[in-house]
Chain A
Amino acid sequence: MIDMKKKILKVSVKRHKKGKEVVVKQKDNFVNFDIGGDEYRTTLSPKYIHRKPYFKSDPRQVLSFIPGTIQKIFVQVGDHVNIGDKLLILEAMKMKNILMATAEGTVKAIHAEVGVMVSNKQLLVEIE
């Protein structure tokens, strides 16, 4: 959406006014910004620059949704699981959260150990 190659630092916007050239100096970083097929010269807000890119979640990868401690693991590598089967217990904020299979298949890998702290969005179980 943004052509970063065209990003120019300290751009001067030149315009003609009654024959003479008016130079407007801008300190900000300008980019060409595409809205509905037309490109506009503009700057980006910090919040826009730091927005989170979208990534598609894969149901075969079970991630932690909160930081916490693995309290119990119900499955082993090679087990067949159905959607909704219990995989493990993630204890966080004094709650025992049960993580369930989000896809049907065979447990390919388990990246968790009982008693170990995991962070948020950490890959815990892979199903294939």
Chain B
Amino acid sequence: MSLKQKTLDLKKRMQEVIQGGGTKAIEKQAAMGKMTARDRIIAILDPNSFHEYDLFVEHSAKDFDMDKKTLPGDGVVTGTGTLNGHPVCIYAQDFTVAGGSLGYMHAMKIAKIMDHAMKLKVPIIGINDSGGARIQEGVNSLAGYGEIFYRNTQASGVIPQISVILGPCAGGAVYSPALTDFVFVVDHISKMFITGPEVIKTVLGEEISMEELGGARVHAETTGNAHFFSASELDCFDQIKKLASFIPWNNEKKAESFPKKSPKTKLYNLDDEFPTDPKTPYDVRNIIRAICDDSDFFEVMELFAPNVVIGFARMDGKTVGFVANQPLVLAGVLDVDSSDKAARFVRYCDAFNIPLVTLVDLPGYLPGVDQEHAGVIRHGAKILYSFSEASVPKITVILRKAYGGGYIAMCSRHLRADFVFAWPTAEIAVMGPEGAANIIFRSEIMEAENPDEMRKQKVKEYKKKFANPYVAAAYGYVDAVIDPSDTRKFVVHALEISTNKSETRPNKKHGIPPF
């Protein structure tokens, strides 16, 4: 055969594999509103940058007549390409081939591309669309999952790991996304659960639909398994590209700098946004927008535990991670979910050299039997742990309330914030004025002729004396009480002079955070 003939033969072979599960299966995929594995990769990566490997890998199953079957690419597409101009490794499970089921060679393809990502120190993006373990392959299928989980754990905090759930992801398969940094879900397409509705019905007699059990919205709102929620696959891909613009390519690098831009002060104005009365709600995201570059705040986990807000933005062109209490929801309290959410984000930022800016306005931790029994002690401890542990530059701005344990937890000076600023509206105190006055002046109030009048007077006295930033400033716990309109100036300067911050930590294998 001539070179031309050989090449033609190659092309024919490639064409066969690229067909995946065939026209019918592809049509079925499209009918569900789903793109094919290769199309998804191409849509995420920069145009013409995708290079596929292991196209001719075949499955290794022998039992149950599997040796007579061919599964093109063994149900997964792997390769490299660029995203926003930077190299990435990527894989996508192909639901059209045996339902994207995971056999040993399928897993080995994923493991190989993950090993590449680790060696090359570039992000790994995994697109999940699989019915689960390939039952015919038995323990080899389980071995495959284990190999992936191990690599996810080794890569954690070294390279960014992004999971995109674009179909079912059930049983053991869910633990790969759970081990990665960011999980993207799409409404009505993503489904994640350990045991499906059928098993639950047989065993427990409880009836629930797949969507209600583990649909995209459930994971974005209730479980906190997903970080980004979108209405369509294309919207999801835009979110991935945007996230990639904020994060560094590995833990030895810093995120890419962008030209600095001023906030859109006409749209987001502190004077308009901010109520000075600590009991009046406002949307803290607009405060972030009023101080960050181009008022562009990219929120993470928007729907889960909305009483704390986390996300990325830029200050003078450089990525920062914002953590802020949200007075609009549950008065901005810390509880089990919000502590979990903030703590993990802080650890992400610390692992990837992203400075932290914390905006404080909270009345404390959420009271309640459900919270106590759900373990608010150990979950709440996570936020203390992660802020104390973080060695990236830490800037804290106290906007209004900073009461009790909440004050300490929100990256206070005592947890080694590098700079603590407070607005003149800040109230740094052991608790709210009414609660405090009721305890401190209990006997005076009870013995007074007019207890209500006395209570009001005592609350007023307490407010005047303690509900301000100056007591904390007098002890040096606050570095500067600032004019709110100078916030951006102070934060940018603090970040700038903290560029070369280095802190030593006691030598240890690793800490034991209250997981």
Q: Hey, which chain A residues are within 8 Å of B204, CB to CB?
A: 66-67, 120
B331 touches A33 (CB 8 A): yes
Distance (whole angstroms) from the CB of A9 to the closest CB of chain B: 15
| Most chain A beta-carbon contacts within 10 A, residue among B205, B221, B337, B369 | B205
User: Range of interface residues on chain A?
Assistant: 35 or more
Q: Hey, which chain A residues are within 8 Å of B221, CB to CB?
A: 46-47
| Complex CA–CA separation, A30 to B221 (angstroms) | 20
A67 touches B205 (CB 8 A): yes
| Complex CA–CA separation, A52 to B370 (angstroms) | 7
Enumerate A27-82 residues with CB–CB distance to B below 8 Å: 28, 30, 33, 35-48, 51-54, 66-67
| Complex CA–CA separation, A54 to B370 (angstroms) | 7
B432 touches A37 (CB 8 A): yes
Asked if A117 is at the interface (CB within 8 A of a chain B CB), the reply is yes
A54 touches B369 (CB 8 A): yes
Asked if A93 is at the interface (CB within 8 A of a chain B CB), the reply is yes
Known interface pairs A13-B281, A45-B305; A40-B373 also in contact (CB < 8 Å)? no
Asked if B279 is at the interface (CB within 8 A of a chain A CB), the reply is yes
Known interface pairs A30-B281, A35-B367; A40-B327 also in contact (CB < 8 Å)? yes
Interface stretch of the complex, out of B50-58, B136-144, B413-421, B433-441: B433-441
Q: Hey, which chain B residues are within 8 Å of A117, CB to CB?
A: 205
A42 touches B330 (CB 8 A): yes
Q: Hey, which chain B residues are within 8 Å of A53, CB to CB?
A: 370
B306 touches A45 (CB 8 A): yes
Q: Hey, which chain B residues are within 8 Å of A48, CB to CB?
A: 330
Distance (whole angstroms) from the CB of A33 to the closest CB of chain B: 5
Known interface pairs A37-B432, A45-B306, A67-B205; A22-B272 also in contact (CB < 8 Å)? yes
A93 touches B203 (CB 8 A): yes
B329 touches A40 (CB 8 A): no
A67 touches B222 (CB 8 A): no
Residue of A at shortest CB range from B438?
Answer: A37
> Chain B 364-393, CB within 8 Å of chain A: the 1/0 string?
101111100100000000000000000000
Distance (whole angstroms) from the CB of A54 to the closest CB of chain B: 4
Distance (whole angstroms) from the CB of B299 to the closest CB of chain A: 15
Known interface pairs A1-B367, A17-B272, A47-B221; A35-B203 also in contact (CB < 8 Å)? no
Known interface pairs A38-B433, A120-B204; A45-B329 also in contact (CB < 8 Å)? yes
Residue of A at shortest CB range from B370?
Answer: A51
> Chain B 330-371, CB within 8 Å of chain A: the 1/0 string?
111100010000000000000000000000000110111110
Q: Hey, which chain B residues are within 8 Å of A26, CB to CB?
A: 281
Distance (whole angstroms) from the CB of A31 to the closest CB of chain B: 10
A47 touches B281 (CB 8 A): no
Q: Hey, which chain B residues are within 8 Å of A33, CB to CB?
A: 330-331
Q: Hey, which chain A residues are within 8 Å of B131, CB to CB?
A: none
Enumerate B186-208 residues with CB–CB distance to A below 8 Å: 203-206
Known interface pairs A43-B329, A44-B329, A120-B204; A38-B279 also in contact (CB < 8 Å)? yes
Chain A residues at the B interface, C-beta cutoff of 8 Å: 1, 13, 15, 17, 22, 24, 26, 28, 30, 33, 35-48, 51-54, 66-67, 92-93, 117, 119-120
What are 12 inter-chain pairs, A to B, with CB distance below 8 A?
A: A13-B281, A15-B275, A35-B363, A36-B435, A39-B279, A42-B329, A42-B331, A46-B222, A47-B337, A51-B370, A52-B370, A67-B204
User: Lowest 3 CB-CB distances: which A-B pairs, in order?
Assistant: A37-B435, A38-B432, A40-B331
